[in-house]
Amino acid sequence: MDQDALVLIEIGALLLGIGLLGRLAARIGISPIPLILLGGLAFGEGGFFPISAGDDFIEIGAEIGVILLLVMLGLEYNAVELVGTLKTSRFAGVVDMLLNAAPGAIIGFLLGWGPVGAVALAGVTWVSSSGVVAKVLQDLGRLTNRETPVVLSVLVIEDLAMAFYLPLLTALLIGADLGAGVVSVALALASVLVILYFALRHGAMVSKLVWSKNAEVLLLSVLGLTLLVAGLAAQAQVSAAVGAFLVGIAISGPVAEHATRVLTPLRDLFASVFFLFFGLSTDPRDLVPVLIPAVILAVVTMGTKVLTGYIAARRAGIGEAGRWRAGFVLTPRGEFSIVIAGLAVGSGVDRSLAALATAYVLMTIVAGPILARIPETKGFTRWTKRRQADRRARQAAKSPS
């Protein structure tokens, strides 16, 4: 068969499959993410019907999907809100790192991967998937909830922390000396600060740059600027997701509203491609030997991530139900975890680390959207109301009459 025709057939079949899975997910009342991932496993490496002709399109589409998810999330907030939330969430960021990086580091040492492997696995378990969390928030209609800025602040702190972590990990992997590692981290930090400065000080200029009454021109301008900044951020060893998010923050007012409207269909398309790509790039046979440590890590760190979100929301004055929503929605890991594992294995760390990271991420990424719905169940709602009533009763009993 002609190669070009085969590419079109495979891509068309995959997109049609995503649409059918989305319809099935809507009918049974769940997020489509787990079904898309499982579909990717069936058609990826080692699956029932492996495909290969459309690999390049799917891989690039997946990168664009993450970028669009983050810029759309950034469009929901302005720079002042971002800075205010970051100031109030510094403690939560420290708690997040301590609770979620420690289990990965411990397992890394126990499996004999040494200090470098332990540092790499600590990063895998530390960082939530901004792309998955953003998609879940959108699917569940929570973008305007009171706890969402708290969730967002945790994600942003993690993404910004990666600007320090990734250059440091790279220096450890290649055996660079302390001076080279410090230079890499300094360059990454400087890049983040430059992007953040323009988002805070020149947001109005950015909005004017991309604004147009013509929907097509607005779409091309916002998308082009987002991809440009994301690419420059990645080139500077900063997360492309951070660059995309800050572009969204810089665009505000009516421009943000119109940009959200024209970008939404594109985001939905490429976000689905991202989750499909994740499944396609995983060989199910590699997951079997590492299932036990992956299950242990998943259970422990999903619990610690729920605790992280709960603590962050409580410090922000969010009610009981919102605290649990913030905790459960943070549980999925994703794109950063896979990138970290890939860097480690590519530099000589035991290859089983990549399989462990993949199994771990798949577990959290499938369970995460399901767990995020728990606070909305009737039984859980009744339980949180009883807890809140009991807390008020105890406070009333302690207060002087």
Residue 42 lies in a domain: no
Does the residue 110 lie in any domain?
yes
Counted residue by residue, the chain has a size of 401
**d(C-alpha 294, C-alpha 291), whole Å:** 5
The range of the structural domain enclosing residue 368 comes to: 55-396
pLDDT on residue 35: 82
- In angstroms, the CA 161 to CA 155 distance is 10
CA gap 276, 263 in Å, rounded = 20
Whole-angstrom CA distances from 355 to 118, 226, 340 are 15, 32, 12
Nearest to 147 by CA among 316, 308, 3, 30: 316
Residue 7 lies in a domain: no
pLDDT in tens, the chain (401 residues): 677 788 888 888 888 988 998 888 878 766 687 788 788 878 777 666 776 656 777 888 888 888 888 788 778 766 666 666 667 777 888 999 999 999 999 999 998 888 888 999 999 999 998 878 888 888 888 888 889 888 988 988 887 777 677 767 777 777 655 566 667 667 666 766 776 677 677 777 888 888 998 999 999 999 999 999 888 877 776 667 777 877 888 887 888 889 999 999 998 888 888 878 877 777 788 788 889 999 999 999 999 999 999 999 998 888 888 999 999 999 999 777 877 887 787 777 877 887 888 889 888 988 888 899 998 888 888 888 888 777 777 777 776 65
Whether residue 2 lies inside any domain: the answer is no
Q: What pLDDT is attached to residue 221?
A: 93
**How far is C-alpha 318 from the chain's CA centre?**
22
User: Residue 214: its pLDDT value, please?
Assistant: 92
Domain assignment of residue 33, yes or no: no
At residue 192, the pLDDT reads 66
Domain of residue 301, CATH code: 1.20.1530.20
Name the domain count of the chain.
1
Count other C-beta atoms under 10 Å from residue 28's C-beta. Answer: 7
Q: What is the DSSP secondary-structure string of 98-116?
A: HHHHHHHHHHHHHTT-HHH
Is 6 part of a structural domain of the chain?
Answer: no
Residue 26 forms part of a structural domain: no
Domain presence at residue 50: no
Residue 367 and residue 290: Cα distance in Å, rounded? Answer: 18
Residue 41: C-alpha distances to residues 279, 287, 341 (Å):
5, 11, 19
Q: Which pLDDT belongs to residue 304?
A: 96
